[in-house]
Amino acid sequence: QYEILFCINDESDPSIMLVNRLMEKYPNVDAKVFIGGMKVGVNPKINNMQLGYEAAKYDLFLVSDSGIRMKEDTLLDMVFSMKEDTGLVHQMPFTCDGKGFPAILEKVYFGTAHARIYLSADFFRINCPTGMSALMRKKPLDEVGGIKAFAQYLAEDFFFAKSFTDRGWKLRISSQPAWQNSGHCDIAGFRNRVTRWGKLRFAMVPHTIFFEPLSECFFLGIFVAWSANFLFSWDFFVLYLVHVLVWFLLDWILLCIIQNGSLPFSKGDFVVAWMIRESSALYLYLSALFDPTIRWRSGNYRLKWGGIAEEIKPKL
């Protein structure tokens, strides 16, 4: 038993026609459309969802971005993961199979570097949920003012989860990943998104500025090889190459496990995409660190320490 609440920000969005056709085709499905949203803060996603949230009538609600592909049993899987002590069920971001090298690069990133950190954070009960696909209890959120109470943040997903854990609720990860299926991939857009997420992390959890580089293969390998050379007089370059090779093989295994099927590209494509991702990590880190301005959707934002955002108005 469920309802579908379509929240569409722009009344000229062509998806409105598609949604209306779907509602006509399946009249027995409980569905409504909300257009225009309500301005309750700087976060455009919260503004867009506010009307739908106010109309939601069930105890659980699922935030699902338009670029997420839902399988037939995804909602069921997430609800089954919602135990009595659970406040939020999230999905690890991954990507659907796509054409072209940018799609390969995205899949390699989300199936290796991002998955490694995301699953490790979840294992150690560190706040890591992303808001692209998250099932939450409505009553605990209503107790703190609903989703509009989080409209001052751009990373509303982080603060949703923090609100639950601060009051003793647990977070759980679904057995299925969030299948991103935006339909358009380009390297510039991919890098902008990764950089934007880095800026949000640095503002919300400043100590990640110091520890995040140590999660990268090439950077960490330098310290590993230097330490072993200093302590045991082992050959620096041999050990560094062994470190990179082992890391590379473990990333390949992790990607295959998450894909849970045949990969849509060759091993050669994986090598190239993996090398580009790993070698560009430091550049993206520095870009996020020294340019705090965030460009998201149609707006520009400046972050304060703690994650509070303010919109940068264009100069007249």
Mean pLDDT score, 219-247: 96
* Residue 127 pLDDT class (50, 70, 90 cuts): very high
Which pLDDT tens digit goes with each residue over 155-205? 999 999 999 999 999 999 999 999 999 878 899 999 999 999 999 998 888
Rounded to 5°, angle at Cα 83 from 77 and 89 = 55
pLDDT at position 225 is 96
Other C-beta atoms closer than 10 Å to the C-beta of 193 total 13
Nearest to 280 by CA among 196, 224, 217, 220: 217
* Alpha helix positions (H), the chain: 15-25, 44-55, 74-81, 101-111, 113-123, 138-143, 156-166, 187-204, 208-211, 217-232, 236-259, 267-290
pLDDT value of position 294: 87
Contact in structure between 89 and 82 (CB atoms under 8 Å): yes
Inform me whether the pLDDT recorded for 316 exceeds 80.
no
If you average pLDDT over every residue of the chain, what do you get? 94
Confidence bin at 315 (pLDDT 50/70/90): low
What contacts 289, CB < 8 A, 6 or more positions away? 198, 202, 209
List, by residue number, the catalytic residues.
157
Q: Worst-scoring range by mean pLDDT, 31-40, 160-169, 179-188, 278-287?
A: 179-188
pLDDT, tens only, 191-215: 999 999 999 998 888 888 888 899 9
Summarize pLDDT for 70-90 with one digit per residue, the tens. Answer: 999 999 999 999 999 999 999
Q: What is the DSSP string of 218-284?
A: HHHHHHHHHHHHHHH---HHHHHHHHHHHHHHHHHHHHHHHHTS--SS-HHHHHHHHHHHHHHHHHH
Q: Which residue has the tokens 């569409």?
A: 8
CB 105 within 8 A of CB 190: yes
